[in-house]
Amino acid sequence: MDVSFIIVNWNTKKLLEQAIASLYKYATGFTFEIIVVDNASEDGSPGMVSKKFPKVKLIKNSDNVGFAKGNNVGIKAACGEFIFLFNSDAYLINDSIANLVKRAREIPNLGAIAPQILNEDRTIQQSVGFMPDLARVILWMSFIDDLPFGDYLKPYHVDHARFYKRERRVDWLTGAAFMIPRKVIAKVGPLDANIFMYGEDVDWCLRIKKAGFEIYYSPVAKLVHIGRGSAGKISKNAILGEYKGLIYVYAKHKSKFSLQMLRLLLKIGALARIIIFSVLGRKETAKFYVEALKMA
């Protein structure tokens, strides 16, 4: 088996159906299996999978255990050479994943690789970045990395379309579409199950790099990620989740002083965003950052 696609699902029945159908249509040129880990959905997702995709390996959790733990359940059941985390709100648009599998086998010391991720309108979606050391957190909190030249600074989040036009070595990849060799997982361990959602991808990539492996982004393959399919359109969960996840990563991997400095920088950044979004009339988003300020 070449690839094990793992999809963690929670109440995204229609999106899940689209995701699985796209895999069966476009995942050609290599052998694969699909494993759906359902986190106690109440929308009929498990029944849909069983009825429409009987070849899918369906694992039903009794509770919503989160993204990281759900993927770990799938990883244990997988038998592919490569493990491909695939969000339920993602879908393939062509057969280019075969190119990614080929490229993965060509790169020496590969730790993980991800394709180009697109929004539904086919614009580039921010999906990679560099490790959030304190200098990069300053660039992020001060909006400097959003400036036209920001991608040259190797920011925490790379949000510049030109960066994604060619293959790059990066520090972390979004868990929305992420392929990792099984042998790497055997060495570094699975996702940190203490993280419910947000930050688990950064933590995993940090451990992969510490183990001496390289992480790559490659546009030889493309797919679409709708974004926030389970959480809805409101960005509150993403904002608070990223703050919480980053604090956890620092507490786990950094010194107490670095953690204190991170909290200070996050507070300053949250305060700046409260002011900016209030002036812009985006009061709801400003309220989210009030919560983020309290969290930091």
pLDDT category at 232 given cuts 50, 70, 90 is: very low
Q: How far apart are CA 84 and CA 184, in angstroms?
A: 13
The pLDDT value given to residue 41:
96
Residue 110 has pLDDT above 60, yes or no: yes
Look up residue 124 and give its DSSP letter. B
The pLDDT value given to residue 174:
95
Residue 231 has pLDDT above 50, yes or no: no
Which residues of the chain form CATH 3.90.550.10? Answer: 3-132+153-225
pLDDT category at 15 given cuts 50, 70, 90 is: very high
User: Per DSSP, what are the bridge partners of residue 36?
Assistant: 7, 58
Tokens of residue 12, six digits: 């995204």
Residue 245 has pLDDT above 90, yes or no: yes
Share of the chain above pLDDT 70, in %: 97
The pLDDT value given to residue 59:
98
pLDDT, tens digit, 9 for 90 and up, residues 175-202: 999 999 999 999 999 999 998 888 999 9
Average pLDDT, whole number, for the chain? 95
pLDDT, tens digit, 9 for 90 and up, residues 40-64: 999 999 999 999 999 999 999 999 9
The pLDDT value given to residue 220:
98
Q: What is the mean pLDDT of residues 107-121?
A: 96
Q: What is the mean pLDDT of residues 102-126?
A: 96
What dotted CATH number matches 3-132+153-225? 3.90.550.10
Q: How far apart are CA 268 and CA 27, in angstroms?
A: 45
The pLDDT value given to residue 175:
93
Helix (H, G, I), strand (E, B) or coil at 121: coil
Q: How far apart are CA 85 and CA 48, in angstroms?
A: 21
The pLDDT value given to residue 238:
86
Residue type, 109: N
Q: How many CB atoms lie within 10 A of CB 10?
A: 24
The pLDDT value given to residue 229:
42
* CA-to-CA separations, 170 to 35, 158, 237, in angstroms, rounded: 28, 10, 25
